[in-house]
Structure 1
Amino acid sequence: MSLPTYDVLLEASAVICTVLQFLSGAVICRKYIQKKSTGESSGLSFVCGFLSTSLWLYYGILTNEHSVILVNSIGIMLFLCYTIIYYMFSVSKKSYLKQFFIVLCIQGATWYYTNSIDLDAEKVRVMGFICCVITVCFFAAPLTMLCHVMRTKNSESLPFPLIAMTFLVSVQWVIYGVIISDTFIQIPNFLGCLLSLLQLCLFVIYPPKSYSGQGYRLEKIVTF
């Protein structure tokens, strides 16, 4: 039985918005290429994005959710490209290789453990729980700047476009998760909505004093 039209539109919108969110990393990589250096910026968000999308892809395969498979297949390719570009211009290649190796170990261990489970329903539950934890951690990443914002009473250090985009994407995936009755999609994205809304409130309470561009750094790249 095919989904009603509004469900199909919501699914398509969620996929497109999430891919656009992933593409924000291209802006950062372009700066690396122009400067021929990553400077003091961290590439951890790229390797973590690669880990998150790879795990969500596996979850999508287990649950046979085509939208989850599509968006995370694109995400894996993008984050892998970002990771390679960061490595090419990184000032600390050994350290970055260690980060990527750790991510590969986590990825391999997760897949191995999940595949060792006989019941398909249990595989889905375990994989869904792992994906939830990782996604919530990524959503909460900018909250590390909370103390700084409250101390300076200035929110310009927060990436407003990314936070706003995260809120929009999270809302769509929550609704989609409700439609398909998938708790593991609903929970992390509902928490993502709350965390994003909290961060957006900081812009009202402590409005940016200037828009020098510092606040638009890529602090995180969220998967749903």
Structure 2
Amino acid sequence: MFLQLFKVWIGVFSVSFLFLPILLVLDWRKRGTAEGFSSVVLIIPMIIQAFWLRHGWMTNDTTQILINSMNISVLSCYIAAYAYYQPKRKFLIGQLISALLIIKCAFLYVDSHDSEHMESAMGTIAAGAQILGLGGRIYEIRRAIKMGTTEYIPAVMQFAVAALMAQWFIFGIVTGNKFIVIANIAGLITSAVTINLYFRYPPLTWTVPIFNIPPQNSKKQE
């Protein structure tokens, strides 16, 4: 009974986060451009969710199937919005083509295994991809340190992702899915590092919520 309720909870919890990137789209609309923002943070999750979707399909996990199907559909809409507000689209097109090739090659690799080991192979790829996918967030961390500001790392999304990963970490423990546990431990560590950056390199023009960290520009004016 507890497991069923938890599955419903994590399903609702995960789906609710699908609407958070709307804040990004509104920011792009306000600025009139998406230039300065990286599409990597949208492309990499789409690849990872495609892997988890197939893993869920192979393990007959309805929770994973529903959540990742919705995630991929909504992410596609956000990528379309990014393309609309991004004046330099050639890099985005290249990233999308690369993403499709990566997904196809991964599926072909899994299909090359015998039926007994296909499920494990897909789980390993999904977890590995989620950990490697942190490269996009690590890139954002390095860029923020280099620029001396977290202006282009939306705080609300960072807090939301950390909360979501914590939920999936618990889900992995409860269901005994080691792949989900390992992947989300790495994600939680990265989230902790990213959130710490708001204290060291505050945004230029906006206040970090929850911690109420003022922007650098306001400090200079004082």
TM-score, normalization by structure 2? 0.78
Looking at both structures, which has the greater relative contact order when contacts are Cα pairs under 8 Å and sequence separation is at least 6?
1
The yes-or-no answer on 1:213 pairing with 2:209 is no
* 1:194 Cα deviation after fit: 2.9
* 1:193 Cα deviation after fit: 2.4
1:1-224 pair list within 5 angstroms: 4=1, 6-33=2-29, 37-120=33-116, 122-139=117-134, 141-144=136-139, 145=141, 149=145, 158-201=153-196, 206=200, 208=202, 212-213=205-206
Secondary structure of the residue aligned to 1:108 is helix
Q: One-letter code of the match for 2:192? A: L
* 1:99 Cα deviation after fit: 0.9
Cα–Cα, structure 1 residues 159 and 89, in superposed 2: closer, same or farther, change >3 Å? closer
TM-score, normalization by structure 1? 0.77
Distance 1:155 1:99 in 2: 24
Distance 2:147 2:84 in 1: 37
Q: Is the 8 A contact 2:150 2:201 kept in 1?
A: yes
Q: One-letter code of the match for 2:67? A: V
Distance 2:93 2:36 in 1: 16
Equivalent pairs counted in the alignment come to 208
Cα–Cα, structure 1 residues 41 and 197, in superposed 2: closer, same or farther, change >3 Å? closer
* 1:36 Cα deviation after fit: 5.0
Percentage of matched positions with identical amino acids: 19
Q: Is the 8 A contact 1:157 1:215 kept in 2?
A: no
5+ residue gaps, structure 1, are 217-224
Distance 1:108 1:128 in 2: 16
Q: What RMSD in Å do the two structures reach over aligned CA positions?
A: 3.0
